[in-house]
Structure 1
Amino acid sequence: MSGNLGLVLRRLRDQGPRSRARLAAELGLTRSAVSALVGELEERGLVRAAGVERGHVGRPGTSVELDGHAVCGIGAEINVNHVSTIALDLGGNVIAEHRAGLDANKLAVEEVLDRLVALIARTEADVRSAGAETVGVAVGVAGLLDRTRDMLTVGPNLGWRDVPVGAELRGRLGAAYPVLVDNEGNLAAMAEALPGDPARQDVLVIFGEVGVGGGIVADGRLLRGRQGYAGEFGHMIVQPGGRRCGCGRVGCWETVVGLRALLDAAADPDDPVRDPALGLDDRLAEINRRADLGDTRTLAALDQVGGWVGIGAGILANAINPGAVVLSGYFAEVGERMRPAIEEQLTAGVLAPQAGGTRVELSTLGFTAAVRGGAALALEAVFDDPTLVGRRTEAVSEGVR
């Protein structure tokens, strides 16, 4: 039963409102079965009536749509310069969002985790205030993550090694709901692969902040690799003899396309835009402001970094031929200025004509991509088994007791 409930719920998420008759035809179920399933989902507060369906062959019927305003997933992120959280309801609406700046390199691992847990607790309190319940938390972390143990084996930019992030967070939160851990690039890729959008089912997502990573989505599924380490694009060697990377090697792609590379090229060491105390959004806004004013050094820096982005994207596109390269994180904030250089090098680097049909797109999620992907991952449990959410009558009875 829970399997068919999940089928109905996913169909409404991916394809939008539809009548019971249409759901029955699309899912290969009887109308009576679908009516019973929709009734149960309504009792659990996961769907609601959405008016009369029009424009479909056959007799008009009352359509139903995803509701789930009382169910939230929380996404969280640990990065070099910040910890952040977001709570999304089942329909993808933002219920709460928080971010706190820090310098992870100067703090003990325990303090960074404590700050994240405090932010999660604050977000969960906001969810309760909105009359909703949290069904899970998924945390993105920058670095190589062994998902079988929820162990961050190497976090070059964080300076972490062999940190049992999952166990540490679960111990601190003591929550009844699941606490998941994943690579932040994977979570960003999940957020960009929009359910129901055929143009986003085969994409390469490049997520940049201090470090650079991302994810590969093929036929709507995230490719994790044998041990879950896929997507560490930032550590491809593209410039032998170049700058030393945080991972200890020389010439990684990250060293020529990461945020540090852009700031080094765009400004002198004493320039305010290089000051870590200045918020990341403010620093990038200043870069864009200078570019808009025609500052030659800024424009040259964006062109230089954009060229390297295109070179790396071309290497990856030759291997997997994605429908789109989606630029996320800091790349999305300054990407319009980089786009010409990216597209030029992508086209030059891909063997297939017209870059094999691969287009360059800018994420609209920016720095929230990873936490949004985390919230979506946390909510997947409900789509897998909607019975995890109690019937409203059960909830009332629990409250009376």
Structure 2
Amino acid sequence: MTLTDGSRPGGGVVAADHVSLRRNNLSVVLRHVRSDGPKSRARIAADTGLNKATVSSLVAELVERGLLRDGRAESERGALGRPGQLVELDGSAVCGVGAEINVDYLAVTALDLSGDTVIERRVPLDVAHLAPGTTLDHLAELVQHAVTAVTARGGQTAGVTLAAPGLVQGTTGSLKLAPNLGWGELQIVDEMRERLGGPAYAVRVDNEANLAALAAYSELRKESGSNVEDIVLLTGAIGVGGGMVAGGHLLRGGRGFSGEVGHMPVAPAGGICGCGRTGCWETVVGLTALLNKATDADDPVRDPSLDVEQRLAEITRRAEAGGARTLRALADVGTWLGIGGAILVNILNPDVLVLGGYFAVLGPWLKEPLESAIRDRVIAPDGGGCRVVQSELGFTAAVRGGAQISLDQVFLDPTLIGRDATGVAQ
């Protein structure tokens, strides 16, 4: 959209301000319906302070863009007269895509505006032993598959957000360091855009633990009566990452590099980490550490070509069968998880410590030694009031968070979505 620069007589600034004001008001109405549920136009006007004629015009435009639709007629509480026509989110027309790169798999998810899953796919891949370009080729195929599925159902792709396990700078679209992948400086967004053919939709990148934390936070907020504002998510695979939400806002740090909790030095006499340092937390709680303790070198569960959930299902089976070596390994990892977790609880005092990734899958065996270590090591009474929960999102958390980030841009600026409700976002 072209805006006048305000330098000519005749109110260029006013024109620009009018466009910005309308964009903002569209966002206000759309976000209000998302947060408060279906409402009549009159109720939206009363709640937002916008006049009724403006709200009617805004709703009409949001319907044209496939973001809202008319719902049932209903008398709202306290309202007099005829039932009002409610408006509600139209989830089907617009989708966000999240795509994840991890050490031993790639994944993709597309969510519509209502948060429903359109497509979800994960493929095992030994990423750590592949060149970055080869991995991105595979990831681009997965993303294109998801975009095609969105288009086939008459939807628009609002954007794609990549989840990467390492230091990323979203503002520049670059991956600075991913030690467990062996990747260094990489303009990952530019590389992906080229492979996707220079798409009209936006492509972004974020840290996979940050995205998983956003998804976990949304999951907790959906619980009945939940008023959680501060969480720490620990996500475990080969590496270990952390995402922190404080006061409802993701903590990224001064340069966007926060959350690398897997590299806290907690075991000085421990093993060598993928980052090259000794005794990082992930050397004693990462999936590799668990498998080294619980299995022999030739055990099939160490095979990275097997899907991670298949490998964890076998560990679960052995634990449920009372396998002594497996149970000892889980207890040891759980204790180390609590040692590092206590450091985070002492510093951040979260309401909830969320276990994600493989920690969530094996939570029934990790949780008790984890909670015991937190009680012993957190200085505040009763562990600072922090409760430990297992995420229900499993290995989908990062891709779901990525899809949410893509959709959030639509709620902030609904004009990103064209008025034509089919095809790729205009």
Q: TM-score scaled by structure 1?
A: 0.93
The reply to whether residue 366 of structure 1 matches residue 398 of structure 2 is: no
- Secondary structure, aligned partner of 2:406: helix
| Deviation readout 1:58-101 (Å, 9 max, x if unpaired) | 34533322113111111101111111111111111111122222
CA contact (8 A) 2:126 2:305 kept: no
The reply to whether residue 136 of structure 1 matches residue 132 of structure 2 is: no
- 2:330 aligns with 302
CA contact (8 A) 2:41 2:52 kept: yes
Q: Which residue identity lines up with residue 184 of structure 1 in the other structure?
A: E
Separation in 2, partners of 1:11, 1:177:
25
| Deviation readout 1:258-293 (Å, 9 max, x if unpaired) | 101111121122222222232211111111111111
CA contact (8 A) 1:147 1:227 kept: no
- 1:175 aligns with 199
- 2:367 aligns with 339
CA contact (8 A) 1:95 1:130 kept: no
Match of 1:117 among 140, 157, 167: 140
Alpha-carbon offset, residue 382 of structure 1: 0.8
Match of 1:43 among 46, 58, 64: 64
Separation in 2, partners of 1:292, 1:184:
30
RMSD: 2.1
Q: Which residue identity lines up with residue 94 of structure 1 in the other structure?
A: T
- 1:399 aligns with none
- 1:159 aligns with 182
Match of 2:84 among 49, 61, 68: 61
| Deviation readout 1:21-79 (Å, 9 max, x if unpaired) | 33333323333333332222122221123324567333453332211311111110111
| Deviation readout 1:295-343 (Å, 9 max, x if unpaired) | 2221221111111111111111111111111111111111122111111
The reply to whether residue 272 of structure 1 matches residue 300 of structure 2 is: yes
Separation in 1, partners of 2:279, 2:336:
12
Separation in 1, partners of 2:170, 2:375:
35
Match of 1:16 among 10, 28, 37: 37
Q: Which residue identity lines up with residue 289 of structure 2 in the other structure?
A: A
- Secondary structure, aligned partner of 2:227: helix
Q: Which residue identity lines up with residue 179 of structure 2 in the other structure?
A: P
Q: Which residue identity lines up with residue 314 of structure 2 in the other structure?
A: E
Q: Which moved more, 1:168-177 or 1:251-260?
A: 168-177
Separation in 1, partners of 2:283, 2:137:
30
- 2:106 aligns with 83
CA contact (8 A) 1:256 1:305 kept: yes
Query: Which runs of no fewer than 5 residues in structure 1 stay unpaired?
Result: 397-401
Q: Which moved more, 1:96-105 or 1:376-385?
A: 96-105
Q: Which moved more, 1:377-386 or 1:11-20?
A: 11-20
- Secondary structure, aligned partner of 2:184: strand
Match of 2:94 among 39, 56, 71: 71
- 2:124 aligns with 101
Alpha-carbon offset, residue 16 of structure 1: 2.4
- 1:186 aligns with 210
Match of 2:349 among 305, 317, 321: 321
Separation in 1, partners of 2:341, 2:414:
39
- Secondary structure, aligned partner of 2:330: helix
CA contact (8 A) 1:324 1:361 kept: yes
Q: Which residue identity lines up with residue 271 of structure 2 in the other structure?
A: R
- Secondary structure, aligned partner of 1:157: coil
- Secondary structure, aligned partner of 1:163: coil
Q: TM-score scaled by structure 2?
A: 0.88
- Secondary structure, aligned partner of 1:124: helix
- 2:11 aligns with none
CA contact (8 A) 1:18 1:53 kept: no
- Secondary structure, aligned partner of 2:362: helix
Rg comparison, structure with higher value: 2
Separation in 2, partners of 1:29, 1:232:
44
Separation in 2, partners of 1:336, 1:22:
46
Separation in 1, partners of 2:405, 2:174:
18
Separation in 1, partners of 2:71, 2:294:
52
- 2:24 aligns with 3
Alpha-carbon offset, residue 256 of structure 1: 0.9
CA contact (8 A) 2:170 2:204 kept: no
Separation in 1, partners of 2:373, 2:147:
45
Q: Which residue identity lines up with residue 4 of structure 1 in the other structure?
A: N
Alpha-carbon offset, residue 114 of structure 1: 0.7
CA contact (8 A) 1:86 1:371 kept: yes
The reply to whether residue 29 of structure 1 matches residue 59 of structure 2 is: no
Q: Which residue identity lines up with residue 365 of structure 1 in the other structure?
A: L
Separation in 2, partners of 1:27, 1:355:
41
- 1:379 aligns with 407
Separation in 1, partners of 2:366, 2:357:
14
Separation in 2, partners of 1:76, 1:210:
18
Q: Which residue identity lines up with residue 274 of structure 1 in the other structure?
A: R
Separation in 2, partners of 1:297, 1:159:
31
- Change in CA separation of 1:194 and 1:200 when aligned onto 2, cut-off 3 Å: farther
- Secondary structure, aligned partner of 1:199: coil
- Change in CA separation of 1:117 and 1:15 when aligned onto 2, cut-off 3 Å: same
- 2:8 aligns with none
- Secondary structure, aligned partner of 1:325: strand
- Secondary structure, aligned partner of 1:162: coil
- 2:9 aligns with none
Separation in 2, partners of 1:299, 1:19:
56
CA contact (8 A) 1:199 1:323 kept: no
Alpha-carbon offset, residue 128 of structure 1: 1.1
The reply to whether residue 256 of structure 1 matches residue 287 of structure 2 is: no
Separation in 2, partners of 1:365, 1:280:
15
- Change in CA separation of 1:53 and 1:240 when aligned onto 2, cut-off 3 Å: farther
